[in-house]
Structure 1
Amino acid sequence: MTEEQQNNERQFSVQRLYTKDVSFESPNAPEIFRGEWKPRHELRLNTTINPLDTDVYEVVLAVTVTVKVEDKTAFLVEVQQAGIFTAHGFAEEELGPLLGAYCPNLLFPYAREVVSDLVVKGSFPPLVLQHVNFDLLFAQHQRQAAEQAQSNSAQPIQH
């Protein structure tokens, strides 16, 4: 194999996975432990892609879980699980789904474990986050961005 063939090959690797930031708050403890436990959960996800070098990216998956009982916050967990990834030889249309869907899929189990551990250490019943379809979320985000770009370009320019 020639050097040129090697340089054109697609290569993907995980350099490092790490927890970038963690926060746990239980603003209504100890009162929240005294009432009936009928929680409502809210899950927010966000992915950030930071180019670090040629073909090297940091992908940060931010997971925020808010649990309320009636109108009181039982706890709030925020986790930023990150990874450094090398992606060489991918076309632009392949790089988006790779970094925006595949990498968050790799990071999510680690973030889920951190959330679960923090919740239990906060003396709350175990919370196991269900699987997230990052491929679907990425596709929805791309579709929304395309629709927004199309509606912005359809707007008449006012002077």
Structure 2
Amino acid sequence: MADQELAPVFQLQRMYLKDLSLEQPNSPQILLEQQQPQVDIQLAMGAEGIADGVYEVAVTATVTTQLGDRTLFLVEAKQAGIFELRNLPDDQIQGILGVVCPQMIYPYLRAIVSDVCTRAGFPPILLAEVNFQAMYEAQLQQAAGNGEAPSVN
């Protein structure tokens, strides 16, 4: 029985859409434009403890499309998951929260962004694959350069 209590645990409790926003400030006139818009995509991720051994991990995509100085549309979507991690070393927990959890969440975020763009009357925006391992390692290097302890937030 004691062995079961000390066994490592990594489990997805729940996946959910935490926030979604669509803005079309220049519609309907901008919908008549035939030019190719400029697309800017920003990704962010974060993790925080919400209970003992339970964490919320979120990945946010902000997609801005513009024609010149006019905004065609802006989509911001935040997909999140609640994960249980127990009986693991702290360095492994940080790696799981910074790499594995976002990799599980991201496909759902990609689908949401594409779907919202299509439902708004625009061609779908297909978010590229992301190397969360490289992002996590860059965060670690940045934290080390600043003399901070590694953190996923």
Q: TM-score normalized by structure 1?
A: 0.87
Aligned residue number for residue 111 of structure 1: 109
Which residue identity lines up with residue 57 of structure 1 in the other structure? Y
Compute the displacement of 1:138 (Å).
0.9
Distance 2:146 2:53 in 1: 29
- 1:80 aligns with 78
Q: Which SS does the other structure have where 1:149 is aligned?
A: coil
Task: Tell me if 1:10 matches 2:8.
Answer: yes
1:155 matched residue in structure 2:
none
Q: Which moved more, 1:20-29 or 1:63-72?
A: 63-72
Tell me how far 1:128 sits from its aligned partner: 1.2
Deviations 1:46-94 (A, max 9, x none): 2221212111111111111111122221111111111110011111111
Q: What is the Cα deviation at residue 21 of structure 1?
A: 0.8
Alpha-carbon shift at residue 27 of structure 1 (Å): 1.0
Distance across 2 between alignment mates of 1:37 and 1:115: 21
Q: Hey, what's the Cα distance between the residues in 1 that align with 2:56 and 2:143? A: 22
> In the alignment, residue 52 of structure 2 is paired with which amino acid?
T
1:4: Cα distance to partner? 3.0
Equivalent residue letter for 2:113: V
Scaled by the length of structure 2, the TM-score of the pair is 0.90
Offset, 1:37? 2.9
Question: In the alignment, what sits opposite 1:147?
Answer: 145
Q: In the alignment, what sits opposite 2:65?
A: 67
SS class of match (1:128): coil
Amino acid of the residue matched to residue 30 of structure 1?
P
Q: Which runs of 5+ in 1 are unaligned?
A: 151-159
Residue 137 of structure 1 and its aligned partner are, at CA, apart by 0.7
Give me the identity figure in percent: 36
5 Å-filtered alignment, 1:53-64, equals 53-64=51-62
In structure 1, the residue matched to 2:151 is none
How much has 1:32 moved relative to structure 2?
1.5
Gaps of 5+ in 2: 149-153
Q: How many residues align?
A: 148
Q: Which residue of 2 aligns with 1:130?
A: 128
Q: In structure 1, which of residues 9, 22, 28 is the aligned counterpart of residue 20 of structure 2?
A: 22
Q: CA RMSD in A?
A: 1.3
Letter in 2 for 1:144: Q
C-alpha distance in structure 2 between counterparts of 1:78 and 1:9, whole Å: 38
Please, which moves more after superposition, 82-91 or 38-47?
A: 38-47
In structure 2, give the amino acid aligned to 1:138: Y
Identify which range, 27-36 or 138-147, moves more after superposition.
Answer: 27-36
